[in-house]
A = this chain, B = another copy of it.
Amino acid sequence: MIFDKMLDKPSIWLDATGPYPEIVLSSRVRYARNLIQYPFVQRAKVSDLKAILDVVRKAASDSELLKGSAFIEMRSISQLDKKFLLERHLVSYEMVGDNKDRGLMISEDEKSIIMINEEDHIRLQTFASGLDLFTVYTFLDKIDDELGRNLDYAFSNEWGYLTACPTNVGTGLRASVLLHLPGLVLTKEIEKVLRGVTQIGLSVRGLYGEGTEVKGNFFQVSNQTTLGKKEEDIIKGLDKVVRGLIEYERNARNTLLNDASPQVEDKIFRAYGLLKNARILSSDEVINLTSAVRLGVGLGMIKNISMKTLNDVLIISQPAHLQKIFGKKMDTEERDVIRANYIRERII
């Protein structure tokens, strides 16, 4: 079963092997596509949705690039499994919020995903570790070409790809980068920097995308504009901004090291001490503590923990992951104890 394979380790695109692992967790690009033969998901009948599921699933199964992908019918899985997929960033809240006929194709390496009947018929996504937008975009585009040979995409010569929401019309492309910016937060420069980012037309969100709050100094930066620009230019634009953010973050970390070393070191090692010793840990506390430890690893203060371990902890210590790993339903209190034990053994 697909879920068993995923247990106990996060998606491979969180393995911290990509460029700038001390600041960038992952890059993600997605296309929104719709099939010409069917109404948009919002207006589609059940029979339409079922047909779309079948057609897209068939096309994905025939794809060389997606070979070995697993299919998950969202209606058929438990609430816990839905939560588990959410925690892995493999589905959106829209995919799990109701009982519509929606489906998910997951490539063997979890780097490529198709959400079927989310807001659009097709949401094709690819992920990569670190800042690697061009690789991930190139691969996305190839899969899209391949699928496009078997599927009739709704496309207008004037507007480009047609989507359920006008904000996606044109390229249907959204690229986003997940950044860890504790330096800018600690030097209190973050607001100014993010204001700049939004002023040039990008959007900034929290760890779990649209509408979620910022936790643990993680920020998702993505393009807002999908229309009137070439795909490559959108990617290039975002890449450039992210490289700027990396530079700002590095400067901020240097400032911290020079100006407030004991305070920052104290914050980092206290977090490390708590992660290693606490017997009760909530998810939110883990996010905040690992954020500080991540900064410590990035600054070279903590040497015996890898970024990969921190990513593991971040993903695996979440409620649904814990319950699936331990194979039982647990209330918050029990989870907080199990979580602390688990992290203590993993962090070492």
Chain A contact residues, CB within 8 Å of chain B: 262-263, 265-266, 269-270, 272-280, 337, 340
In-complex Cβ contact of A266 among B263, B276, B340 (8 A): B340
Given A266-B279, A272-B277, 12 extra CB contacts under 8 A: A262-B280, A265-B279, A266-B278, A266-B280, A269-B277, A269-B278, A269-B279, A270-B279, A272-B273, A273-B273, A273-B274, A273-B277
- A266 contacts across to B, CB distance below 8 A: 278-280, 340
* 16 A-B interface contacts by CB (under 8 A): A262-B337, A263-B280, A265-B279, A266-B280, A266-B340, A269-B277, A269-B279, A270-B273, A270-B274, A270-B277, A270-B278, A270-B279, A272-B273, A273-B273, A273-B274, A273-B276
- A277 contacts across to B, CB distance below 8 A: 269-270, 272-273, 276
Nearest chain B CB to A294 CB, angstrom units? 16
Sort A-B residue pairs by CB-CB distance and give the 4 closest, nearest first.
A273-B277, A273-B273, A266-B279, A269-B277
**Which residue of B has the minimal Cβ distance to A278?**
B270
- A272 contacts across to B, CB distance below 8 A: 273, 277
**Which residue of B has the minimal Cβ distance to A280?**
B266
- A275 contacts across to B, CB distance below 8 A: 273
- A265 contacts across to B, CB distance below 8 A: 279
- A274 contacts across to B, CB distance below 8 A: 270, 273-274
